[in-house]
């Protein structure tokens, strides 16, 4: 099994990503860290605690991290994820406490304590990950790979060219992309293919478990939000795609390319500029996701929720 740490801001799709990591036996989820993004840090942390509790995984260490981006103010995505950050289902469940250390410190301990190099999966703004790289370069050097959901090779969802996680903390994304570590960028260009159709939602409901129902209700709320905000017929379930790639790289096709984040830009701050055709002289610094095997992806996610088997 592959040891991973998930840094996230749950978030409907973050919640689904956590369930995929917990339910698939190929991954060993060493810890979960939270960051401000979809909602405030207090809310994303609470939501992560609830998902772990619902999945019977309250023993997984959890730590809260940064409550705002490195530069500028936090703008949450209440229009997409609701007031709680996880609106829709009834998530009333007793939760466990947090590890009582900062997310960056928990990451350092888990990375240094793991006999095998850890894969870091980042599903929110990259604030915690950037701080880990700056504060603990020796720990960061032991990371096997950073796989983040964020950015896009085409258009954005928060600004015309900017995706939410990158637009929320462009400087953090810049630090990560310049780190020299192995990096995979899983952007909107592929996550927009992971659509939770009505049939998929019904498959979750048909599992007949509380978790299955919770997933169906999360995606139903998400579907309404995407219809309202974007006019999409079905919502893209972004974050689990990054986890699916770590589970089985054959599910996501990638190409190596130079990627930079636009930090200035009159209209484009936070855009990820991926030079897929190598028109610049910049060296490749990321494996960029360009394709998704949708038919393999959904059975993985549904299978993981089934495997968790909580009645
Ligand atoms: C990303 O932004 C968040 O709203 C989602 O959780 C996902 O990580 C998609 O742009
Ligand atoms: Ca997220």
Q: pLDDT by residue (tens digit) across 1-59?
A: 999 999 999 999 999 999 999 999 999 999 999 999 999 999 999 999 999 999 999 99
Measured in Å, residue 285 CA sits from the centre of ligand 2 at: 22
Identify which ligand lies nearest to the alpha carbon of 226: 1
Closest to 249 in 3D by CA, of 300, 173, 283? 300
Mutational pocket test of ligand 1: of 164, 168, 187, 195, the residue with most ligand atoms within 8 Å of the beta carbon: 164
Ligand 1 closest atom vs CA 12: 6
Token representation of residue 164 = 């939410």
pTM: 0.98
Closest to 224 in 3D by CA, of 126, 105, 87, 57? 87
User: Which residue is catalytic, options 12, 192, 234, 238?
Assistant: 238
The torsion defined by the Cα of 19, 24, 29 and 32, in degrees rounded to 10, comes to -10
Q: pLDDT by residue (tens digit) across 217-269?
A: 999 999 999 999 999 999 999 999 999 999 999 999 999 999 999 999 999 99
Beta sheet of 286-292, edge-to-edge order: 62-64, 27-34, 2-8, 119-122, 145-149, 183-186, 286-292, 252-257
ipTM beyond 0.85? yes
Regarding the beta carbon of 123 and ligand 1, being less than 6 Å apart is answered yes
310, pLDDT greater than 90: no
Mutational pocket test of ligand 1: of 7, 129, 150, the residue with most ligand atoms within 8 Å of the beta carbon: 150
Q: pLDDT by residue (tens digit) across 102-112?
A: 999 999 999 99
Q: What is the pLDDT of residue 309?
A: 87
Mutational pocket test of ligand 1: of 86, 238, 270, 289, the residue with most ligand atoms within 8 Å of the beta carbon: 238
Mean pLDDT estimate for the chain: 98
Confidence of residue 207 (pLDDT cuts 50, 70, 90): very high
Residue located nearest, by CA, to atom 2 of ligand 1: 164
Measured in Å, residue 278 CA sits from the centre of ligand 2 at: 29
Residue 238 annotated among the catalytic residues of the structure: yes
Identify which ligand lies nearest to the alpha carbon of 188: 1
Measured in Å, residue 108 CA sits from the centre of ligand 1 at: 25
Q: What is the pLDDT of residue 121?
A: 99
Q: What is the pLDDT of residue 212?
A: 98
Regarding the beta carbon of 165 and ligand 1, being less than 6 Å apart is answered yes
Adjacent-strand bridge partners of 119 = 4, 145
Q: What is the pLDDT of residue 48?
A: 98
Ligand 1 closest atom vs CA 191: 9
Token representation of residue 74 = 């936090």
Contact between residue 173 and residue 69 where contact means Cβ atoms under 8 Å apart = no
């Amino acid at each position: 099994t592959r040891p991973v740490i998930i840094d996230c801001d749950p978030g409907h799709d973050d919640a689904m990503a956590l369930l995929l990591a917990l339910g698939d036996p190929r991954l060993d989820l060493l810890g979960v860290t939270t960051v401000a993004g979809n909602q405030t840090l207090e809310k994303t942390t609470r939501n992560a605690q609830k998902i772990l509790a619902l999945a019977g995984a309250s023993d997984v260490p959890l730590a809260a991290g940064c409550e705002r981006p490195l530069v500028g103010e936090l703008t949450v995505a209440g229009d997409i994820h609701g007031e709680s950050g996880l609106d829709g289902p009834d998530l009333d469940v007793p939760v466990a406490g947090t590890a009582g250390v900062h997310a960056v410190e928990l990451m350092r301990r888990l990375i240094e304590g793991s006999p095998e190099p850890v894969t870091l999966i980042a599903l929110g703004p990259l604030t915690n990950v950037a701080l880990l790289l700056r504060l603990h370069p020796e720990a960061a050097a032991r990371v096997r790979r950073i796989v983040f959901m964020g950015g896009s090779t085409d258009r954005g969802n928060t600004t015309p060219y900017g995706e939410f996680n990158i637009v929320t903390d462009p400087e953090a994304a810049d630090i990560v992309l310049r780190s020299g570590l192995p990096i995979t960028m899983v952007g909107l260009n592929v996550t927009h293919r992971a659509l939770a159709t009505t049939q998929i939602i019904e498959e979750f409901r048909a599992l007949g478990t509380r978790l299955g129902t919770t997933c169906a209700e999360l995606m139903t709320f998400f579907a309404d939000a995407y219809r309202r905000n974007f006019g999409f017929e079905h919502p893209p379930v972004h974050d689990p795609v990054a986890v699916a790639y770590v589970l089985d790289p054959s599910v996501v096709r990638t190409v190596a390319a130079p990627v930079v984040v636009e930090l200035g830009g009159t209209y484009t701050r936070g855009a990820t500029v991926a030079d897929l055709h190598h028109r610049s002289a910049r060296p490749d610094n990321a494996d960029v996701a360009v394709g998704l095997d949708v038919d393999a992806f959904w059975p993985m996610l549904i299978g993981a929720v089934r495997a968790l088997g909580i009645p």
